[in-house]
Amino acid sequence: MCRSGAFVFTLFLLTSALNAQILPKGNVFVGYSYNRAGTSQPGAFNTDRSNLNGWEGSLEGKFLPFLGIVADVSGHYGSTTFAAPIDCTLAQPPCSPIHQNVKEYNFLLGPRVSVSVGKVRPFAHALFGAAHINLNGSGTSNSDTSFATAIGGGIDYHLLPLLGWRVQGDYLQTRFFSNKQDDFRFSTGLVLNF
């Protein structure tokens, strides 16, 4: 009887130690995301920046209490208007503006530093990866994939033992159609800590 109790106790300790080594600390974020995006493309120029709404999800694994690695994916959707090219505006009758639907996806990875202070965890990150945009409408379609960076940070507020709320802002830079876009991305939503 004593041996089986010792065996179960030893097995429990080994399982706990192994589990601690396999599953690092971290969090999963899922929420709403807004992107104030530039969508310039060849042959036309954008008359306004686009207000794109969508989603963002990320997974963070902590290697040290203050340092983690983040995989971040987001999708933003909306519409934009491109003015007709200059040579087209001189035509009689002038060309009309081009209205297009926009779909933009970002796939980013990078380090995040954070510190917990009571119920609040401020963080900052530098993420790098790829972005893809698809523009279609008014009888035209165009898409491009480019290098992307997101520099920013935010705050997690601890609500329950494993649940929090995040507010995050990023300077998001893409290079679609050989032009640089400097965008602002805001995200908010639930954080599940593990």
Reduce the secondary structure of 27-94 to three states and give it as a string. Answer: EEEEEEEEEEECCCECCEEECCCEEEEEEEEEEEEEEECCEEEEEEEEEEEEEEEEECCHHHHCCCCC
Residue 153 in contact with residue 166, Cβ under 8 Å? no
Q: What are the Cα distances from residue 47, in Å, to 12, 113, 175?
A: 65, 38, 18
The pLDDT mean for the chain works out to 84
**pLDDT value at position 81?**
77
Which of 13-22, 48-57, 163-172 has the least mean pLDDT? Answer: 13-22
Residue 146 pLDDT > 80, yes or no?
A: yes
**87-132: per-residue pLDDT in tens?**
565 555 666 777 889 999 999 999 999 999 999 999 999 999 999 9
**26-67: per-residue pLDDT in tens?**
999 999 999 988 766 555 555 467 899 999 999 999 989 899
**CATH top class, domain 25-193:** mainly beta
Regarding predicted confidence, which is higher, 175 or 46? 175
Residue 3 — φ and ψ, nearest 5°? -65, -45
**What is this structure's pTM?**
0.78
Residue 163 pLDDT > 60, yes or no?
A: yes
Regarding predicted confidence, which is higher, 63 or 14? 63
Domain residue spans of the chain = 25-193
**pLDDT value at position 158?**
95
